[in-house]
Homo-oligomer: A and B are copies of this chain.
């Protein structure tokens, strides 16, 4: 069986795989000694020692020398993943606001910039505002564009294979906007564009209400309803990027649902249409009968579309997010009752814990996933922002 001996190429690949497993073992843990890394990876202590020193040289890891004061016996040096070796951006381009989050490779947010924008703003105005938010976020954090390893932009509307909202978007004039090419003029790193509901779903699984679940239906409840789907732990886009668009089917009543709140009797004329729903939820909480009836009608319609998703996918968890999730206390119980009535297996129904920032957080997470995919598939060189192919 001598013919099974590994070749030189095999050994070089083995060395790279071992480096990757040390990076992984560092990344998910607090600073670690060579002994700890050896236990975690199954590699010998001397091998870990050599590899870890190489990772420090390359810039993937830093060394924590044992402090003299903490010395008991002979304390070992510890290695730490350098989360600041690179940074990623997550940006939410909404109807009313643009929000950018800058994070290190651990996903810890180091800077946030939020600008208001008019829902009527045309594409040039919204793109200019996007540029200004990104400029502010990167420069105020003391970074340059070359320090950014991935950018994900969240938009409203299904995102097609070209990264455009060619099917439909409520943002005026936005269907023709090519964000990847617009931002590509400034960034050399990969630029992703994704639907807001899908990214909110990703965020709720990452840091929100569904961290323990692999099968998740995320409902975005607001003046527009939307959905994001995670199946077997993976965000699903569909074949053409249009998964989760059940709201377009009038029979499932999502188009009617918010109108019950906007058209509720008793909303003062001084309350703007945008604020009417909030007024109704508050009035319902105070016992106003018309408002309670409006909320019930809203939930009944919301539940039909939700039931279509639940019956199709049979998820473990339904997360109720979006603007209306601030009133989850009024929505969750009647929503559960309706789903019990309509579905054959009842999922858990939970409120979003991330609120309005979930979309930008999900964008950040998609950027981190992109970095990981490259990091752990393409092999390991010194840390540097990846270039688009």
Interface residue ranges, A against B (CB under 8 Å): 1, 3-4, 6, 11, 14-15, 18, 43-44, 46-47, 50, 158, 167-168, 214-215, 227, 229, 231-232, 234, 236-249, 251-253, 304, 307-309, 311-316, 342-345, 347
Contact = CB atoms under 8 A, between A and B. Distances in A.
Nearest to A167: B344
A50 to B, nearest CB: 6
A214 B241 CA distance: 14
A244 B14 CA distance: 44
Copies in the complex: 2
A231 B244 CA distance: 13
Given A240-B314, A345-B240, A347-B239, A249 B307 contact: yes
A246 B46 contact: no
Nearest to A6: B6
B4 A47 contact: yes
Nearest to A7: B44
Contacts of A249: 304, 307-308, 311, 342
Contacts of A247: 311
Contact of A238 (B46, B167, B246, B315): B315
Contact of A251 (B234, B239, B252): B252
Contacts of A234: 232
Nearest to A307: B249
B314 A3 contact: no
A146 B344 CA distance: 38
Given A249-B308, A251-B251, 20 more contacts: A1-B47, A1-B50, A3-B50, A4-B15, A6-B6, A158-B314, A214-B239, A215-B238, A231-B236, A238-B315, A242-B311, A245-B344, A246-B308, A248-B311, A249-B311, A249-B342, A251-B252, A308-B308, A308-B312, A309-B312
Contacts of A214: 239
A251 to B, nearest CB: 5
Nearest to A243: B314
Contacts of A253: 251
A246 B50 contact: no
B245 A158 contact: no
A335 to B, nearest CB: 15
